[in-house]
Amino acid sequence: MGLFYINIIFFLLLCTTFLAESADPLGDFCNKDTEISKGSPISSNIAALLAKLVSNIASNGYVTTSYGKDPNQVYGLAQCRGDVDTKDCSACIQDAANQIRQRCPNEADARIWYDYCFLRYNTKNFIGEIDTSYGIFYYNINNVSDPESFKKALGNLVDKVRAQAVETKNEGLGKGETKLSEFVTLYALAQCTRDLSKIDCAQCVAIAVGSFETICRDRQGCRVLYSSCYVRYELYPFFFPIGSNNASASQNQIVVVYP
Ligand SMILES: *[C@@H]1O[C@H](CO)[C@@H](O)[C@H](O)[C@H]1NC(C)=O
Ligand SMILES: *[C@@H]1O[C@H](CO)[C@@H](O)[C@H](O)[C@H]1NC(C)=O
């Protein structure tokens, strides 16, 4: 990824609500180079494609499909994080399908990210292709107190998580935790889209992890959202199952977007 930060947007999000996943997306991308008009055949194919994605997501939390005929054919992908249950997954994709059309009404290439799911479509067939061209980064404004040992522990944990994510049987998901001290535990998760090859999944996660040292350096938490993978670490549990506890609300987050 070239570090040409054309546009940087900062929002201070002091999230106090409990994981309100059905609420706001973490981000979206409406590709302005792919303008279409409202009544166009592509636009109605997108509507039909979204209906297909929504109705097929429940079976295994992942759908790729297409709708229509060349040159108006559209390709779509919908996927939930592997640790999210069927009910939350379906609700997330339903929201994504509604929101993406509101946010990107005039684009053939559109993508939307939530904590629990991701959805995108395009007239170009992107299925199976790694894409880290557009990224959304969230980090915790607080810094760790011992950067050197933290970096080492994080490096070891993300290596494990990445190794899991590329295992075919894990369907793109890797997650784990490591105790930093008696009272502090570090949690990490990586999720690749399931259309990726092992090598592309490993590469996407590696690129995301690269931002831990740049954009998220010494931060207590970081989330990297690409079109091909989602990678996150926090000092609190945020994935399922979490023993008897619930996933915690996001805390003290700042978001940075690098198109
Ligand atoms: C964390 O470190 C960064 C970079 O050194 C600094 O700008 C920021 O103010 C620190 N954050 C807090 C909450 O101390
Ligand atoms: C988990 O969340 C549910 C719903 O918000 C709540 O009813 C339950 O008490 C929580 N459990 C724990 C262990 O915090």
What pLDDT, on a 0 to 100 scale, did the predictor assign at position 249? 64
Residue with the nearest Cα to atom 7 of ligand 2? 246
Distance 244 CA to ligand 2 centre (A): 9
Q: Check: CB of residue 219 under 8 Å from CB of residue 208.
A: no
What pLDDT, on a 0 to 100 scale, did the predictor assign at position 242? 59
pTM for this predicted structure: 0.85
Fold of 135-258: Killer Toxin P4; Chain A (3.30.430)
Element (H, E) at 180: none
Distance 246 CA to ligand 2 centre (A): 6
Q: Check: CB of residue 212 under 8 Å from CB of residue 196.
A: no
Distance CA(98)–CA(153), nearest Å, equals: 40
What pLDDT, on a 0 to 100 scale, did the predictor assign at position 10? 32
Q: Is 244 in the pocket of ligand 2 (CB under 6 A)?
A: yes
Q: Check: CB of residue 229 under 8 Å from CB of residue 201.
A: yes
In the chain, where the domains are located: 25-122, 135-258
Q: pLDDT (tens digit, 0 to 9) for every residue of the chain, 259 residues total?
A: 333 332 332 333 333 333 444 568 999 999 999 999 989 999 999 999 999 999 999 999 999 999 999 999 999 999 999 999 999 999 999 999 999 999 999 999 999 999 999 999 999 999 999 999 999 999 999 999 999 999 999 999 999 999 999 999 999 999 999 999 999 999 999 999 999 999 999 999 999 999 999 999 999 999 999 999 999 999 999 998 754 345 566 767 777 766 4
Smallest CA-to-CA distance from 222 within 162, 137, 165 is with: 137
Architecture in CATH of 25-122? 2-Layer Sandwich (3.30)
What pLDDT, on a 0 to 100 scale, did the predictor assign at position 209? 97
Q: Check: CB of residue 232 under 8 Å from CB of residue 146.
A: no
